[in-house]
Amino acid sequence: MEGGDTMNFVTRFFAINLVALTLTACGGGEGAGGIDAGANNNNPNSTPQPGQNNKTNSQAVTAAYNNAKSNMAACFGCHIAGGIAGGTNLILDINNDSFTLNALASYSSTFGRDTLLSKTVGQPFHAGGNVFGSRTSQAYLDLEQLLILLETSQQAGQPGNLAFTIESPSQTFRRASLYLTGTVPGRGQVLSLQNASDEALRSQILGLMNGEGFKNFLKNGANARLNSRHLITSTQGVAFYNKYYLPNTDSAGNRNTVRRDLAEEPLEIIANVVMNDRPYSEILTANYTMVSQYTDESYNTGLNLAPGEWRQAQNRGQDVKTSASFFRDATGASRITDFPHAGVLSTWAYLSKYPTTATNRNRARARWTMQHFLGFDIEKSATRAISITDVADEVNPTMNNPACTVCHQTMDPISGAFKFFHERVGYKASGTDSLDRRYRSRNPGVDWYQNMRPAGYGSSQVPSNADPLQWLAQRIVEDNRFAIGAVKFWWFAVFGEDVLDESAPRAQLEAQAALITALANSFRQNLNLKELLADMMMTRTFRASKKIDGSLDDNLLTVHMGARRLLTGYELKQKTQSLTGLVWGRTRPSLEREYKLLYGGANDVTIERRATTMSSMMYRVAERHAYNIGCAAVLLDFSLTQSQRRLFTEVENNTLNETAIRNQIVVLYERMLNRLVTINSTEVNQAYQLFLDLRQARINLGGSTRINEGIRCDNRMDGGSLNDPSFVLSPWRGMIIAMMTDPDYLYE
């Protein structure tokens, strides 16, 4: 094919809409997206390409460190193990250059170069005060040069081997807004942050953390870990709930609503804690639950809530006399239980997700509690026995066999803390305990299995005057690992992938572990989740954009994922609605209903993790989404006055002026793809030629001037006019569809 001008519009359409189904981990990899292989190079704060070989760059780091070190006496005086600043996230060693370089690179990568540099001049607050004088001092400039070199290092294994450009503050803010609120901020607000400092950017991200959109982020993020919404698609545990509680409600016809609200209960607890800036520990220690209009009837709260309202309340509604199959007290009388709340741990959705049996004895509940809230997977904590003789012990092996006790000595006391919650989830189903019938009949007068370790945590046992689960919750939040568990719990919601396991490249694994530790150390100071989320979004791991050198071995890079992740069906729906004002499926969003699983969603029962990479089936759904929305979006936008439009702010429905069209393409790149381009850039040249090709193809069809000639255009979504006398709406429709199926639209 000779040159771009002779390329037919179909070929150009797919050239501009290359879909890399095998995207690299860092937001689409080298040139992903098809339109702009050089995105993110317009950020004045991005680290420069070193343009040096590895040997030269290593020498440059050494020289820069020697220059900076001579002015860092005050730093080495405090930021050392056992020093005044020994409890901070920056620990140095004047006698170990490698250790210090790694510490500086890690801090800069985690919290931002600007944050570290600002500390040296006392801004923001620095307990050591202003040690470098000003931002123009030689000491400041030397340290800045060192940090830049660490960030751009290309040598394998060298400290700070990020080897990525960093996306601009405006791009980070836009992504943060989409994740945290479900909306794309206005173009003016985005561009105003293009050169913002790290401090200003972090403040803007924190400002996003309010309102219904942020609440949905919290609930969806928590559900991705807890799978609380299994109750919506599964009857597991619900039948027993109906027997315990449903007679308290006015109508059995509300059962589906009750089931839905039960699924939301633990998620509402988490959202309530975070939205009100309470210590994150309260998600487990809360002596209350959250109730809706129907669950408040079930729990006999007397609140009489309005539809959609959620409030804190006490459960006073459990009545174990509602079924002949359930145990009762000796008199056979109805018994309302004084229910002890332990935040998420005592909710019906959490307990029914991890049911127990007479032989499991709450061990599943213990295992997942440790994993969710301590970040500790007990199944990977010890080597499994290989020889059959290692597990041949028939005399209570979980108590006596070292091959078993290595895990059970940790797990079983926690299992015991759940002892009053029955396999059918209810609390003290027999009136005094929740033991299985056979064991109780043979061991009268006990409330836990005598051939297991007593309820406790580590070497501590639950006091006789304490509720076991409430006591356990307090021990968990006091554990040093609780902060690490919180970072790991929210990792998936922020980065769109699970924490790396042992199969990952060692450089990435070690860097991620260091990052998690640093984030946890900061979070531990005040247990404010909003601050943690902002810290996570300010890391270089979150903002890493494009490899500086495509020849670098991915296995040697310290950043695994970086900017842009595959949007969930919900996020894609929200993004499209924010940009176009339209929802595919209208009041019954297709991406959250009939196409949810096809687009990689989870049902929290058989599929517990949503897809994190695009499949061919998912891309077909994305195409259908684009084709259903594209035409209606154009009609709707042009039916509004120019000042009211979301997308077409530079042209009218008969504009053929090349400069105006190019300016409009620049706007669409920023709005649709979060990419900042210039009017004469290669990608705008390609897009403008696509516009001309699509328009000519529409003219060649002849006949009617209506936009739906030869294609389907559902104008019922907006009621806009289908008339296109200038043959301008059709090419804009094609442009919108091309961009909506671009990887940079689906990955953000």
Q: Which carries the bigger pLDDT value, residue 85 or residue 460?
A: 460
- pLDDT of the residue at 326: 44
Which string of b and e fits 419-439 if b means at least 16 CB within 10 Å?
bbbbbbbbbbbbeebbbbeeb
Predicted local distance difference test score (pLDDT) of residue 172: 95
Helix, coil or strand: residue 478: helix
Percentage of the chain exceeding pLDDT 90 = 47
Burial class (CB in 10 A: 0-12, 13-18, 19+), 607: middle
Tell me how far apart the terminal alpha carbons of the chain are, to the nearest angstrom.
33
CA dist 15 → 11, 19, 38, 159 (Å): 6, 9, 16, 39
Residue-wise pLDDT tens digits, 37-59: 223 333 333 333 323 333 345 67
pLDDT band at residue 11 using 50, 70 and 90 as cut-offs: very low
Give me the mean pLDDT over the 239-268 stretch: 73
Mean pLDDT computed over 91-117:
80
pLDDT band at 546 (very low <50, low <70, confident <90, very high): confident
Cα distances from 428 to residues 193, 327, 448, 525, 569, in angstroms, run 56, 9, 11, 37, 41
Confidence (pLDDT) at 201:
95
Of the pLDDT bands very low, low, confident and very high (cuts 50, 70, 90), residue 91 is: confident
* Mean pLDDT for all residues in the chain: 82
- Alpha helix ranges (H) inside 35-86: 54-69, 73-78
How far apart CA 546 and CA 540 sit, in angstroms, is 12
Confidence check: pLDDT of 573 > 50:
yes
Strand partners, 289: 313
110-119, 276-285, 397-406, 646-655: the lowest-pLDDT one? 397-406
Q: Could you report the per-residue pLDDT of 380-409, keeping only the tens digit for each?
A: 876 665 666 666 666 777 776 777 877 888
- Burial class for 156, CB neighbours closer than 10 Å (0-12, 13-18, 19+): middle
pLDDT higher than 90, residue 432: no
d(Cα 290, Cα 20) in Å, to the nearest integer? 44
What DSSP assignment string belongs to 641-656?
Answer: -GGG-SS--S--TT--
430, 448 Cβ separation under 8 angstroms = no
Residue 27's pLDDT is 34
Question: What's the alpha-carbon Rg for the chain, to the nearest Å?
Answer: 29
Strand-pair partners of 461:
456
User: How high is the pLDDT of residue 690?
Assistant: 95
pLDDT of residue 242: 61
Amino acid at 584: W
pLDDT band with cut points at 50, 70 and 90 for residue 695: very high
pLDDT tens for 310-364 read 999 998 877 654 444 444 444 444 455 678 999 999 998 999 999 888 899 999 9
For residue 556, what is the DSSP state?
G
Most confident residue range from 3-12, 250-259, 563-572, 698-707: 563-572
- Predicted confidence (pLDDT) at residue 154 exceeds the cutoff of 60: no
For residue 458, is pLDDT > 50?
A: yes
State the DSSP H helix or E strand holding residue 336, giving kind and residue range, or none if neither: none
Asked if 401 and 391 count as a contact pair (C-beta separation under 8 A), the reply is yes
- Entry pTM: 0.78
Query: Which pLDDT value is given to residue 574?
Result: 97
**C-alpha to C-alpha distance for 741 and 623, rounded to whole angstroms:** 6
| DSSP 8-state class, residue 196 | -
For residue range 696-743, list pLDDT tens digits in order. 998 988 877 887 766 667 655 566 678 888 999 999 999 999 999 999
Q: Which long-range contacts (CB under 8 A, 24 or more apart) does 89-94 make?
A: 89/518, 89/521, 89/522, 90/116, 94/69
Look at residue 248 in the predicted model and tell me its pLDDT: 52
Q: What is the mean pLDDT of residues 600-626?
A: 94
Distance in angstroms (rounded) separating the CA atoms of residues 123 and 334: 64
Range with the lowest mean pLDDT among 25-34, 489-498, 657-666, 670-679?
A: 25-34
576: number of Cβ within 10 Å: 24
pLDDT tens, residue by residue, 580-601:
999 999 889 999 999 999 999 9
What local confidence, expressed as pLDDT, does residue 38 receive? Answer: 29
Looking at residue 104, its pLDDT comes to: 86
DSSP 191-214: HHTTT--HHHHHHHHHHT--HHHH
Report the pLDDT value the prediction gives residue 54, as an integer from 0 to 100: 37
The CB density around residue 331, as the number of other CB atoms within 10 Å, is 8
Dump pLDDT digits (tens) for 274-291.
999 999 999 999 999 999
* pLDDT above 50 (res 105): yes
| Token pair recorded at residue 158 | 């060298």
The predicted-structure confidence for 366-382, as pLDDT tens digits, reads as follows 999 999 999 988 888 76
Q: Read off the pLDDT of residues 497-535 as tens digits, 9 standing for 90 and up.
A: 999 988 888 878 888 888 899 899 999 999 999 999 999
CA 296 to chain centroid, in Å, comes to 30
Over pLDDT 70: what percentage of the chain?
A: 80
Which pLDDT score, from 0 to 100, does residue 739 have? 96
471: left (phi over 0), alpha (psi -120 to 50) or beta: alpha
Q: What residues contact residue 44 under an 8 Å CB cut-off, 6+ apart?
A: 195
Contact between 68 and 143 (Cβ < 8 Å): yes
Q: What is the mean pLDDT of residues 261-276?
A: 96
